[in-house]
Structure 1
Amino acid sequence: MARYENEAGAAADGFTISHEPERSRYVITASGADGGRVVGEAHYSLRGDGVIDFDHTVVAPELRGTGLSGLLARRAVTGEAVGERRVEASCWFIDGYLQRHPELLRG
């Protein structure tokens, strides 16, 4: 099983990470004959007090341990949805990721 250190490596194998603001989430899509399928997501909620809360993260079981979860977390907490908002994480995975990467925290 491949181990992905960056989005370029994941993209070379057909995985892309994108933002779906209308669904309040970042997704990992695996390319395929069917046009692609969502294999991971990091969902967030915007609060009126200038906070973005990452409340749910999941990656397909067969892709766990590949580094895709970490790439998704990084994109989510540094993406355009964050803007000037303070990041919180009620999701255990994003919370752990931020504890390992405190330099990514804002506010």
Structure 2
Amino acid sequence: MEPQVIDRPEKSRYEILAEPDAETGTETGAETAGFAEYHLSEGEIAFLHTEIDPRFGGRGLGGLLARGALDDARARGLRVLPYCPFIRGWIGKHPEYTELVPEARRARFGL
């Protein structure tokens, strides 16, 4: 199974599901490999904290999670407030996502 990003609004977070043993080909079922917590309010989504389980480290799942969450925010027409350092840094490396951050607030986030 390819990693999958899903919104869990009841938990106020996006989660990335992945196989823990992808390198060995062992089929153990998908697990929550990480998450990006958010607060949703009045057309804005504030990303607060992102975390990847160390067992899944080094596989690029953090970037996949950021891209999936930001693509969903874009599709929903939400303005993004990247308080989370990981999401903020990821947007900085992928300028095509800068437009999601309100122009008047970009300087506050160093974007």
Which bin holds the TM-score, normalised by the shorter protein?
A: 0.7 to 0.9
Q: Within 2, Cα distance between the matches of 1:73 and 1:88?
A: 13
Q: Which residue does 1:29 correspond to in 2?
A: 17
Corresponding residue SS for 2:77: coil
Q: Within 1, Cα distance between the matches of 2:37 and 2:74?
A: 11
- Displacement of 1:56 in angstroms is 0.9
Q: Which residue does 1:7 correspond to in 2?
A: none
Amino acid in structure 1 at the alignment position of 2:61: L
Cα contact 1:52–1:82 (8 A) shared by 2: no
Deviations along 1:70-97, one digit per CA (max 9) or x if unpaired, are: 0000001111586222101111100000
Larger radius of gyration between Structure 1 and Structure 2 = 2
Cα contact 2:12–2:37 (8 A) shared by 1: yes
Root-mean-square deviation over aligned CA pairs: 2.2
User: 1:17 and 2:11 equivalent?
Assistant: no
Quick check: 56-65 or 68-77, which moved more?
56-65
TM-score by length of 1: 0.73
Q: Percent identity?
A: 39
In the comparison of the two structures, how many residue pairs are matched? 93
